[in-house]
Amino acid sequence: MSLVAFLDGGKNLSWLCLISLLLLLLLRASSKVVFATKNGGNATYPALFAFGDSILDTGNNNNLRTLSKCNYPPYGRDFPGAVPTGRFGDGKVLSDLITEGLGIKELLPAYLDPNLKDVDLPTGVCFASGGSGLDPLTAGTQGVLAMEDQLKQFNEYVGKLNAVVGAENATAILNSSLYLMSAGNNDIAFTYLSAHLRPMTFPEYADFLVISTSTFIRGLYALGARRFALLSALPLGCLPSGRAPVGGLLCSELANQAAQLFNSKLSAMSSSLTGELTDSRIVYINVYDPLLNLIRNPNQFGFRVANVGCCGVLTLLCNGLSPFTCPNVPDFVFWDAAHPSEKAYRALAPAIVQACSNM
């Protein structure tokens, strides 16, 4: 029977029943599961979990014995309330914007935040640690959380989630959530190119980093993770800190080439590992080229300065006592010598959100 005939012959059927039927047909036609979120909206994923380095860290380093922290002014000056939360930037960082863009919640709290509440757990938390990397030497030399530490904390989190929502609901959340990862930047820029802590060729080191990524993903998979988004390394030679070794004006081609080689290997691994891990989806997301485009063509995106950070340092982080922090952050692609500004992150985030939504 056609829909028209059904309508003509269904005079005794209430409009409420008709609407219910149409809604049922629409739901059956949809191939995506939609989750209710903490904010009352809908999202493709019930939660997001972030791992890796400062691109995603939302404050896990605050109480660590490390110099790699930024819970002081001028950090956070564009964050709601102008609060320095430990995020490596002037405001929100990429993990916040991706979480928000996916419709999960506005901010992604740090797992080590002493104010973290049980109600925050089901919608995701951040385990990333500024200064960390895939090489244990990278985190060890800076006193931050190695990837192994982040995996242990996630295992601990799983136990807490079970206690909050019950084992069955916890499994559903873990299996359906998005696992976001940014790692490799500090390994390449610091451990290999700057400190020379690994006596091997860079192709060998890149293989080591990619194998470490694979091992980490397998660890998450064993705990219930199924959907992974791997962010590429940044154009490291064009960061303000990357330009410093070659005079500050030009990009370091050596660092950029190293990042590109790592990215190509990471992309290949993500494809092969997806086929190996049952019911998994591992997507490589290219951040290198979009950020490089911002740096090379700042005026096209509403920026004026792309070779130095707003707080005017060539060392990685802003100095809280420096009087030279720029008054006009939106003009700058970079906030400090290593991290994009919130405005730059906002330019990058939509494409990442789209790629994650299509997984």
Beta bridge partner(s), residue 9: none
Give me the torsion for CA of 299, 303, 309, 310, rounded to 10°. Answer: 140
- Residue 275 neighbours by CB distance under 10 Å: 9
Catalytic residue among 241, 270, 339, 341: 339
Residue listed under structure tokens 């640690």: 129
Residue listed under structure tokens 């995603």: 56
Catalytic residue among 54, 68, 214, 241: 54
CA 238 to CA 171: how far, in whole Å? 42
Confirm whether 336 is a catalytic residue.
yes
Contact 185, 57 (CB under 8 A): no
Contact 178, 49 (CB under 8 A): yes
CA 189 to CA 210: how far, in whole Å? 16
CA within 13 Å, CB half, 334: 29
Token couple for 334: 């970079």
**Pairing status of strand 35-36 against strand 42-43:** antiparallel
Confirm whether 339 is a catalytic residue.
yes
Give me the torsion for CA of 106, 300, 284, 269, rounded to 10°. Answer: -150
Confirm whether 54 is a catalytic residue.
yes
Query: Catalytic amino acids?
Result: 54, 336, 339
